[in-house]
Amino acid sequence: MFLGNFLIGLREGLEAALVVSILIAYLVKTGNRRALIPVWTGIAVAVALAVGFGIALSAASAEMQFKTQELVGGLLSIVAVALVTWMVFWMRTAARHIKADLEGKLEDALKLGPLALTLVAFLAVGREGLETALFLWTNINNSSEGSTQPIIGAFTGLAVAVVLGYLLYIGGLKLNLKRFFTWTGAGLIVVAAGVFGYGFHDLQEADVLPGLNSIALEPHEFFAHFGSAGDWLQTVFQGVLNVTPQITWLQLIMWAAYLVPVMYLFLRPTGTPSPKPAKATETASS
């Protein structure tokens, strides 16, 4: 789960870091350094809300009975995948206009006062924070290897995102954001597919959906033939793809039903080729 959560932390963290750098750079460039205080306040409140949301989910799930916990976990996994999928596609189309949109909102907020500035910063960062907290919680909750490694992976990704965001802000790093978000988006879709399939597995364990004993694949038996190397491969396989030691038919079908069409729609070219100019026809004169 380290690699999957690292990717989530890196991708979501860099998006938030870009938003923060755009807000700060605009205020500094326009000579409104006094407005940095309400902006940082909004950012801090958004981060605190995301952390509190994750803690609240963990505390609430710990008090639930097994079937209730599996039901809530399964539903939240599906919701988290829906939000992350929307975010991945939205970022691909909105990345070119996000700077202008944020600066426009910030300019309007400057006219209204500090509270409006705090609200703009809070909303800009808060959405990313809540999505990240929910997706990380579902990923960690689905982990069978304990909570330490997934949490370390998530915080490592967030730390790298902060460093990259700062380097982008000071101009010390030139990053092809379109290519970066394309590759990380594709990787995140692979992770989300595992979460999506696992969500339906949770619903089977909660007795909401049938077929818990209809096993399609048993990866642990395959990797057992390779000894200690197989244990390592199974850990990597399970950590990246969110597979379980036993995969039900419903889990496998839903994994494929999400991964194939979503990956196709995400990777297909969005632009339409410009029409070739018509060849000039020569007229013969007699």
Residue 269 has pLDDT above 90, yes or no: no
Name, in order, each residue with C-beta under 8 angstroms of 252's C-beta and a sequence gap of 6 or more.
197, 216, 217
Q: CA 242 to CA 89: how far, in whole Å? A: 22
* Mean predicted lDDT score pLDDT of the chain: 81
Q: The whole model's pTM is what?
A: 0.74
Q: Is the pLDDT of residue 282 over 50?
A: no
Cβ atoms 245, 219 nearer than 8 A: yes
- 243 or 202, which is more confident: 202
Mean pLDDT of the 138-149 span: 66
Tokens of 83: 């939000």
Winning range, highest mean pLDDT, from 27-36, 82-91, 227-236, 260-269: 260-269
State how far the alpha carbon of 245 is from the alpha carbons of 99, 101, 198, 232, in Å: 45, 46, 11, 14
pLDDT tens string 170-228: 876 666 777 777 888 888 898 889 889 989 999 999 999 999 999 998 877 777 777 77
Q: What is the C-alpha to C-alpha distance for residues 35 and 106, in angstroms, rounded to an integer?
A: 10
